[in-house]
Chains A and B, each alone.
Chain A
Amino acid sequence: MPDTADILRLESLQVHFPIQGGLFDRVLGRPAGAVRAVDGIDLNIGRGEIVALVGESGSGKTTVGRVITKLAQPTGGKLLFEGRDMTAERGSSALRPYRHRVQMIFQDAYQALNPRHTVFDIVAEPLRSLRLVKNNAQLTERVSEALAAAGLNPPDDFFARFPHELSGGQRQRVVIAGALAVRPELIVADEPVSMLDVSIRAQILQVLVDLRAKHSMALLFITHDLPLAWLIADRIAVLYLGKLVEIGTADEITFNPCHPYTVALRNATPQVGANAGRAELPALQGEVPSAARVPKGCRFHPRCPLAFDRCRQEEPPAIEVGPQHLSACWLAK
């Protein structure tokens, strides 16, 4: 699928949030630190490709999504959309063509919907603000189409409802419909199913997979759930503390992981039935370190069961371990 040119490219993308030092620090001339939420990421997404971005909380995966949807401004690196540099573009009118093609699905559908707007107004908002329709008849048609595509049938029944009158799954469908209404080419889905009941998850995932099949829409699927990523994605990128540690096809990452962190993530997932085929690494100890104090060398070394001297001194580069499979580990080969 990712044979055509990439639709989106991140080149050593960097998002550092400055830490406001106190007056005391400033007087003493201590340098203000920064939270290195995203610290140099290279990632490309092909047309119609589903890429999963996997990582623990605090790994910076949401920030990557916010940069792509222009909700956060990168402090370094580039955001290229179809080869065009979008890094510096700002302002709602300048971004209109971009917004038309890149949309987002949010994690908490209840929070993402204005409680005082009806479903119709919510789904119609992008069409109105991006000026994609000429009259009300067209608007109604596009809204119906989007609601139906998101699995809300019959669409008319939902027009006048408020978010609090919907179930959790329906709310998430409304969020999806709002993103679909503009017929985007790339959707960033930030944990779209993590707040939903397990029984609803499969349905929502099916909607997303269908969309790709029908409209060849690319999807950046942000999740903390490795099996889920394997289920839906073509490729998986594993993020740790603001840096990609491993990237490859979904099958490679899931069944042939090279980076100890990926292995640990996989082992952390409970499996129904036999636990055959598990690697013999112990479970991960401790928490993700603060992005304000990134460890020297490999950022995973304090928690890595295989760490040795070199890991504490030098940061490993991305090493090609197979076709389309990169791993940032000194032990990878």
Chain B
Amino acid sequence: MSESTVRYSPRGRARAIKGFLRQFLSYGSAQVGLVCLVFFLVVAAVPNILVGPLQTAINATGDFLVPPSGQHLLGTDEVGRDVLNLVVHGARISLMIALLSTVISLVVGTTIGMTAGYYGGRVDVWLMRLTDFFFVMPSFVLALVITPVVLEVMGRGGEILGFRPSLFVILVVIGMTSWAFVARIVRSQTLSLKERTFIDRARVVGSSNFNIMVRHILPNLVPQIAANGALVVAGAIYVETSLSFLGLGDPLQPSWGTLLSLAQRAGAASAGAWWYLGAPGVCVLTVSLSFVLIGNALDDTFNPRRRVIP
């Protein structure tokens, strides 16, 4: 306890993080959400070890539309592929798209929201008009318009940053249409933060505007960004699923939405193949629910006064 020389900030930070985690993990919803999330992240990280390489019509192992059995735990699809295999590989695509588009959305939203709120005046007005523009832009229409253009330019083959072109479009479109929400929240929080006395103090002690934003405002925005980031992920998973369901996915990199789309086209519902529709459906539901749970728990942890509201 009593060391002669106390190292500075790292110890204080470590203590703060430990305290935060203890509080966060005391919520049941956080525990449930984290367990689900870790499970899906592990599945998405090593799909080949768990279920072997992605099956196609050529290397399919089973009969057509076989119900779940010992051999095929989640049954097979209309060309005899193992649904478990597809769902596990789909987890990787779905999660990657959701998380990467959230990163885009958070980076762009935070930068624009913070700049607008901090500088105010004309900067604020113009950045917020830009935000409004993206706020009302429907992700579906945008994706449907952009995808053919990108496919035309890029060609159907090839990959952009490891993604098939149409998936890359989905990724960018989700990022583009969800940052406005983050920017609005960050701006309003910045407006209240910049009136605090510690910003005045930072100015008096000579900090530059950039340093004030990065060292003083940004750390105080982390609660809002983290809690809303989790909700953005949940939304991104839904949008990705819907866009893929509409046929914007790519069969070579099937996400859960693509699987739902295939199942629907194969007539899984009328054929009574509940496993084919149900497996990806439950996955989408579970993952987005766990992100919402985590988001709410983060919100409660950072903002204890909200706890009274059920």
Contacts and interface: CB of A to CB of B under 8 A. Distances in A.
B9 A125 contact: no
Given A114-B220, A157-B6, A162-B16, A130 B205 contact: yes
B209 interface: yes
A203 B115 CA distance: 42
Interface string A92-103: 110110011001
Nearest to A132: B206
B6 A96 contact: no
Interface size class on chain B is 20 to 34
Nearest to B16: A162
Given A156-B5, A159-B6, A103 B204 contact: yes
B220 A103 contact: no
Contacts of A130: 205-206
Given A112-B198, A120-B9, A129 B16 contact: no
Interface in B1-24: 4-9, 11-13, 15-16
Contacts of B307: none
Q: Is the interface of B mostly helix, strand, loop or mixed?
A: helix
A73 interface: no
A153 to B, nearest CB: 14
A71 interface: yes
Nearest to A131: B206
A111 B205 contact: no
B8 A111 contact: no
A99 B202 CA distance: 11
B207 interface: yes
A160 B205 contact: no
B197 A106 contact: yes
A104 B216 contact: no
Contacts of B198: 111-114
Given A111-B197, A112-B197, A114-B220, A103 B7 contact: no
B12 A92 contact: no
A100 B196 CA distance: 22
A126 interface: yes
B200 interface: yes
Given A111-B196, A114-B220, A92 B203 contact: yes
Contact of A116 (B4, B207, B211, B219): B219
A161 interface: yes
B216 to A, nearest CB: 5
B200 to A, nearest CB: 6
B201 interface: yes
A13 B57 CA distance: 83
B16 A125 contact: no
Interface of A: 66, 69-71, 92-93, 95-96, 99-100, 103-104, 106, 108, 111-118, 120-121, 125-126, 129-130, 140, 156-157, 159-162, 175, 178, 182
11 contacts: A66-B200, A70-B204, A92-B208, A112-B201, A115-B220, A116-B219, A118-B13, A126-B206, A156-B5, A159-B7, A161-B12
Closest 8 CB pairs of A and B: A126-B205, A160-B12, A120-B8, A111-B197, A118-B12, A99-B206, A129-B206, A92-B208
Interface of B: 4-9, 11-13, 15-16, 196-198, 200-209, 211, 215-216, 219-220
